Structure 1
Amino acid sequence: MIEFAISNAWLIGIMPILAGCVALLVVKPWPKLAHTVVIVPSAIGWYLATLILIGAFMGYDLSSSQWSYRLLTTGDFDLNFGIRVDNLTALMLFIVMTVSTLVQLFSTKYVEGDGGYSRFFAFLGLFTSSMLGLILVDNLLGLFIFWELVGVSSFLLIGHWYQKPSAAAAAKKAFITNRVGDFGFLIGIMIIFATTGTLEFSGLREAIVAGDLSGWILTAAGIGIFFGAIGKSAQWPLHVWLPDAMEGPTPVSALIHAATMVAAGVYMVGKIYFLFEASATTLQFIAWIGAVTAFLAACIAVVQYDIKKALAYSTVSQLGFMMFALGMGPIGYAAGLFHLMTHAFFKGMMFLDSGSVIHGCHHEQDMRRMGGLRKSMPFTAGIMLLGCLAIAGVPPFSGFFSKDEVLAAAAAMNPMIFILGAVTAGLTAFYMFRMYFMTFHGEYRGHAHPHESPWQMTVPLGILGFFTVTAGWLALPHFWGGPNYIAEFLVYTPVTDASTYLKLNVGVMVLATLISLGSITLAYLMYSKGTICPEKMKQRFSYLHKLLTYKFFYDEVYNAMCKHVVVGAANVSWWFDRVVIDGIVNSIGSGTYSGGNTLRRLQWGSAQSYLSVLVIAVAIIAALLFI
């Protein structure tokens, strides 16, 4: 059965979109049937993805998954479209199908009664297939096609409640912001093709090894490609779209923030890591972008009151962690991707848990109107506590293992980034437990009567809670001085030697744990015990609080740029086109017309006159020749 799953990996990618089409076109009159049509193929896809991952861990030959189709031949160039499964692909297939299937089950109750019920599940199928296609393809052309499909799918899902102006605006903001990054991505692809003549991942690696792509051109191509990841994975300075994406239904937030859209950028960097690793400048660029993103987003999360916005900025920050780990070179490669895996489980669980809270509180999202929910929603409270402990890096939860690997890689390669990462880790523990204590401790401050969610919502929480606890245990032998199984599994055939992997750093592990525990204690004293008054802290640091509340004024700056710079440049371009370009074209036309009118007057229709003119002209020419 494992061989069948590996050989037919393409089925995993195509089933969700086919199911979505059926849900949208065939069963639209019967909304309750729509989720069944989508969930059953997703469950089958999850089963196949699980078999492929098991086969990869057991050492099965994954080459039978390879499939290629020639789209175009011109000269010596063949444009192919194909798929290929390697260990990283197998891991991502399992993550995406696990989270996606559980999100779909959760959605059956969360969007129950929604007027766009069938449409919602159809777009979930499109979104899932787009991400799976991005994972499976083996060339830059296919990657870019599915990259754009992921963007279109996110636009449709974020704007699901398009009747709300805020949801429509958030969908447009996400789409346009991603296009900025994708423009750089496209330029990088064009540089690679113009230099190497190939779009295949294997051909690109051979070109780099052979030196056909090197120097500043290699750096330009790598940074251009990475701009796509800056947009899709919400890295600074294109991070502004992700918090606004919370306008979509909470299951969409869980899917986008855990295993699909934002994970695409990190996955892409890992998939073609040989391109980035070959340029030290590109790696430094990735590392600093990730570190700045992680720190800034963590600072903003500290002052958020919307439970989904707090989780959104947490996602931005954790994506920064992954990126700066990848920027550490081969020593941080597996650490960044390991954190991608653990984050997918605990962040997907936390977003669904916030959906359970919102559902139980009758669609309330402001944490100031919550409190004491552990009494009325004990299961939801317990699951959220697991997620907070994991993201804070408390042992033995999954985030402890992956986060410490990331910080250890930074400590070994770049002390400045390590310090920034350690501070960010402390902020992470603080704002996550601030959210937990405000939501589940104290007395209830809302008006509705909260209640526990139905089993369709709690079962996905329980399954993701299991992975939240255990997913990091793959690194346990490494912590005991044994082999690092996750690093050995995520081998990527580096251009440079990566045989010496990251050694266990007990000092970093102890320091990071103490920082997290100290931050948790501070959050407890402020938001549960009441020993430290948050309002007094807000007044004492009012300027800093305002700066963070307004998110460093990025939205205001971008709005001003669009209003004055972009619109101004558009007006200048319009004037230049109408006055200069059109003026030149119109002048040429008018001159031609006037010349034609002048010459037309010489044609008066008398043959005798034409003959007279001819005789006079011949006489003049003869006289000139004689003289």
Structure 2
Amino acid sequence: MTASSWLLVALPALGALILLLAGKRARTWGHLLGTATVVLAFVYGVILFFAGDGKSTVDTTVYSWIPVGQLQVDFGLRIDALSLTFVLLITGVGMLIHIYSIGYMAEDEGRSRFFAYLNLFIASMLILVLGNSFVTLYLGWEGVGLASYLLIGWYQGRPSAATAAKKAFLMNRVGDVGLALAIFLMFKYTGSTGYAQVFDGAANGQIPPGAITAIAILLLLGACGKSGQFPLQAWLPDAMEGPTPVSALIHAATMVTAGVYLVARSNAIFSATPDGRLVVTLVGAVTLLIGCIVGCAYDDIKKVLAYSTVSQIGYMMMAVGLGPGIYALGIMHLVAHGFFKAGLFLGAGSVMHGMNDEVDMRKFGGLAKKMPITFVTFGLGYLAIIGFPFLTGYYTKDAIIEAAFGQEGWRGWVFGLATVLGAGLTAFYMTRLMMLTFFGKPRWKDIKSSDGRDFHPHESKPVMWIPMAILAVGSVGTGAFFVLGHRFVNWLSPVVGRFEEADHTPIPSGTVPAMTLVLAALGVLLAVWLFRPSRDIPVERPERVAWPVRAARKDLYGNALNETLVARPGTWLARALVYVDNRGVDGAVNGLAAALGGGSGRLRRLQTGFVRSYALSMLGGTFLLLAALLLVRFS
């Protein structure tokens, strides 16, 4: 069965190829073909899931890809518990997003091309998670980057969309350089880029400790770019310029989870370098707080959810950085996040669909009565993400918080308090989103949309709300699977190691869940009080605000930091190199050409065409030669 695992990639890839070649001729059926390929891939993934035992690792060589001297790279696929988890997540959530897109993109002229790009995205992600070498992973990594560029910039007539797509593409290239350099170092020390050889080299000391740490940090740089982690997180909120299904696809189950997958897949490398793991954990802690703080200040519903993703990926990155025995918790939260974040984004798209594509929450209000299905499905995702007891997020996020408190020394306090504070802030900004959108006065009655139309909010079509309902059920029900006998972490243990609970915490372990619930409850109550239905919420955003709000609205100066540390020095370096090229390289070449041209012009004057001139030159040369001989003879 696993010998045909290449079909998982081939099905969506074939769909993308057919739709791109068919062009406008696929206008009436392209969306059906694009969706069908992902449905078939999901069905085949389920078959592989039940056919395997979850304990074995099966590598399948499809063909010899790069046979060049010592560099022998096969295009191979690896089926194990980790890759199958991602296959089911990518194809399952991706299938629901495809179905949702049938309704959401119904009026778009380029709908078939949109589904071709979605198929390309899914195929690239499957190559990324199924490849059995870092070079194959890199192929999928770059394919996802291309597809995301095409999808984020879908609305080509909007300068903001073009800018967002370019920003995402360039910032991801920064991370890709790190991943490429890590692969070069792996080949230098192990002579291979295959997982088996590299991980064996890390375990048996073939790779020196310093090189392992360098490889781990370079891998983390790649993960930061793809998963929107500090300091490369600024592109992720701007990616909201794409259609809402794209936001759901990028944020929920595919692109931004690739960095977490990379670290978890490379657990043998990170387990061998405590310094590398510490950097991963610090990056995750800083990122989750940045995402939470900025999410409190935005009024754009999609950008609030985008920074929520930044924060939740920070939790996952912290978990996979906490070390051996904890990796599975990061993947567990990743799977839970795939359900509730996809549901939240699709719910936001449903709200926008009924509100003339408006994204400003200050212009919403009272939509619970107008869009009851969207309200219920979105509400279940909201309860899951804030960690409401016995829903999915309650089990996954709390497990990470307890593991963070279980670290030794100062790390337990710093990482534990960061995760608890993040839980309280998450409850605040998500409750704020719920209050502004679904409760209170219907502020949309007194204003018009940006295109001058009146608002007529209405429930979305079944093709849109059915996927939302399925994701809402997943947001609620997967928690039981996670908690019953640690089924999920036991399923992943052959790949990422057995889960080990912390044997010591700076505070009694039983108080950690209670403290988390108390802070989350305080966040909810504060948001309800500040944005209560009886309060008059201004439709226009107030500009005179405290400095923390101003800083959060400016993304905590993340863009300014990247501009100062990367963009401006890069511009200055480029200008300096252009100057050196113009004045140095071009100057030397042009100067030599000018010297030869001037010299040849002067020599040309000696060619007069008169015999007497040539005879005089010969006579003069003879006298000079005799003089030189005499000087040598008598010296």
Could you say which residue in structure 1 is the equivalent of 2:5? 9
Aligned-partner Cα distance in 1 for 2:534–2:404? 36
Could you say which residue in structure 2 is the equivalent of 1:282? 276
Aligned-partner Cα distance in 2 for 1:511–1:73? 57
Matched, 1:326 2:320: yes
Matched, 1:219 2:232: no
Aligned-partner Cα distance in 1 for 2:317–2:456? 42
Aligned-partner Cα distance in 2 for 1:217–1:224? 10
Measured after TM superposition, the shift of residue 588 of structure 1 is: 3.8
The worse-fitting range, judged by mean Cα deviation, of 541-550 and 382-391 is 541-550
Q: Is the 8 A contact 1:100 1:255 kept in 2?
A: yes
Aligned to 1:465, which of 457, 472, 487?
472
Aligned-partner Cα distance in 2 for 1:551–1:17? 37
Aligned-partner Cα distance in 2 for 1:588–1:492? 67
Counterpart code for 1:50: V
Q: What is the alpha-carbon root mean square deviation over aligned residues?
A: 2.9
Measured after TM superposition, the shift of residue 334 of structure 1 is: 0.7
Aligned-partner Cα distance in 2 for 1:289–1:555? 17
Which runs of 5 or more residues in structure 1 are unaligned? 478-482
Matched, 1:38 2:34: yes
Cα distance, 1:585–1:13 mapped onto 2, change above 3 Å = same
Q: Is the 8 A contact 2:326 2:499 kept in 1?
A: no
Aligned-partner Cα distance in 2 for 1:401–1:291? 19
Q: Is the 8 A contact 2:260 2:316 kept in 1?
A: yes
Could you say which residue in structure 1 is the equivalent of 2:518? 514
Aligned-partner Cα distance in 2 for 1:589–1:219? 51
Q: Is the 8 A contact 1:525 1:532 kept in 2?
A: no
Aligned-partner Cα distance in 2 for 1:205–1:611? 83
Aligned to 1:368, which of 358, 362, 368?
362
Matched, 1:183 2:183: no
Q: Write the deviation string for residues 86-113 of structure 1: whole angstroms up to 9, x where unpaired.
A: 1100000000001111111101111111
Could you say which residue in structure 2 is the equivalent of 1:381? 375
Could you say which residue in structure 2 is the equivalent of 1:272? 266
Counterpart code for 1:82: G
Aligned to 1:433, which of 420, 431, 438?
431
Measured after TM superposition, the shift of residue 599 of structure 1 is: 7.8
Measured after TM superposition, the shift of residue 278 of structure 1 is: 1.3
Aligned-partner Cα distance in 2 for 1:548–1:193? 43
Q: Is the 8 A contact 1:291 1:420 kept in 2?
A: yes
Aligned-partner Cα distance in 1 for 2:462–2:495? 44
Cα distance, 1:59–1:172 mapped onto 2, change above 3 Å = closer
Aligned to 1:422, which of 420, 423, 430?
420
SS in 1 for 2:460: coil
Aligned to 2:342, which of 323, 328, 348?
348
Measured after TM superposition, the shift of residue 593 of structure 1 is: 5.4
The worse-fitting range, judged by mean Cα deviation, of 561-570 and 455-464 is 561-570
Q: Write the deviation string for residues 303-331 of structure 1: whole angstroms up to 9, x where unpaired.
A: 11111111011000001110011111013
Q: Is the 8 A contact 1:526 1:534 kept in 2?
A: no
Could you say which residue in structure 1 is the equivalent of 2:632? 624
Could you say which residue in structure 2 is the equivalent of 1:574? 578
Which runs of 5 or more residues in structure 2 are unaligned? 446-454
Cα distance, 1:593–1:382 mapped onto 2, change above 3 Å = same
Could you say which residue in structure 2 is the equivalent of 1:397? 391
Counterpart code for 2:424: G
Q: Is the 8 A contact 1:331 1:502 kept in 2?
A: no
Measured after TM superposition, the shift of residue 50 of structure 1 is: 1.4
SS in 2 for 1:81: strand
Aligned-partner Cα distance in 2 for 1:326–1:289? 11
Aligned to 1:144, which of 138, 149, 152?
138
SS in 1 for 2:206: coil
Aligned to 2:531, which of 518, 527, 531?
527
The worse-fitting range, judged by mean Cα deviation, of 229-238 and 505-514 is 505-514
Cα distance, 1:492–1:286 mapped onto 2, change above 3 Å = farther
Aligned-partner Cα distance in 1 for 2:626–2:9? 83
Measured after TM superposition, the shift of residue 500 of structure 1 is: 3.9
Measured after TM superposition, the shift of residue 119 of structure 1 is: 1.2
Cα distance, 1:111–1:271 mapped onto 2, change above 3 Å = same
Could you say which residue in structure 1 is the equivalent of 2:491? 489
Could you say which residue in structure 1 is the equivalent of 2:448? none
SS in 2 for 1:330: coil
Could you say which residue in structure 2 is the equivalent of 1:54? 50
Could you say which residue in structure 1 is the equivalent of 2:458? 451
Counterpart code for 1:506: G
Matches within 5 A, 1:552-591: 552-559=556-563, 564-591=568-595
Counterpart code for 2:476: V
SS in 2 for 1:528: coil
Aligned-partner Cα distance in 1 for 2:309–2:500? 31
Aligned-partner Cα distance in 1 for 2:536–2:617? 110
Identical columns (%): 35
Counterpart code for 1:134: L
Cα distance, 1:617–1:440 mapped onto 2, change above 3 Å = same
Q: Write the deviation string for residues 387-439 of structure 1: whole angstroms up to 9, x where unpaired.
A: 11110111211111110111111011122111011001110011111111211
Aligned-partner Cα distance in 2 for 1:553–1:620? 78
Cα distance, 1:610–1:324 mapped onto 2, change above 3 Å = same
Aligned to 1:110, which of 100, 104, 107?
104
Q: Is the 8 A contact 2:54 2:81 kept in 1?
A: no
Counterpart code for 2:183: I
Q: Write the deviation string for residues 366-400 of structure 1: whole angstroms up to 9, x where unpaired.
A: 11111111111111111111111110111211111
Counterpart code for 2:251: H
Cα distance, 1:45–1:20 mapped onto 2, change above 3 Å = same
Q: Write the deviation string for residues 318-377 of structure 1: whole angstroms up to 9, x where unpaired.
A: 011100111110132111111111001110011001111111222221111111111111
Superposition TM-score, scaled by structure 2 size:
0.90
SS in 1 for 2:163: helix
SS in 2 for 1:446: helix
SS in 2 for 1:452: coil
Q: Is the 8 A contact 1:28 1:34 kept in 2?
A: no
Matched, 1:298 2:292: yes
Q: Is the 8 A contact 2:127 2:139 kept in 1?
A: no
Aligned-partner Cα distance in 2 for 1:596–1:194? 53
Aligned-partner Cα distance in 2 for 1:476–1:568? 54
The worse-fitting range, judged by mean Cα deviation, of 127-136 and 468-477 is 468-477
Measured after TM superposition, the shift of residue 608 of structure 1 is: 12
Q: How many equivalent pairs are there?
A: 613
Could you say which residue in structure 2 is the equivalent of 1:480? none
Counterpart code for 1:425: A
Superposition TM-score, scaled by structure 1 size:
0.91
Q: Is the 8 A contact 2:329 2:396 kept in 1?
A: yes
Aligned to 1:19, which of 9, 15, 20?
15
Cα distance, 1:377–1:550 mapped onto 2, change above 3 Å = same
Measured after TM superposition, the shift of residue 43 of structure 1 is: 0.7
Aligned-partner Cα distance in 1 for 2:183–2:55? 32
SS in 1 for 2:213: helix
The worse-fitting range, judged by mean Cα deviation, of 500-509 and 402-411 is 500-509
Matched, 1:312 2:306: yes
Measured after TM superposition, the shift of residue 600 of structure 1 is: 7.9
Could you say which residue in structure 2 is the equivalent of 1:70? 64
Matched, 1:243 2:237: yes
Cα distance, 1:279–1:167 mapped onto 2, change above 3 Å = same
Could you say which residue in structure 2 is the equivalent of 1:166? 160
Cα distance, 1:75–1:368 mapped onto 2, change above 3 Å = closer
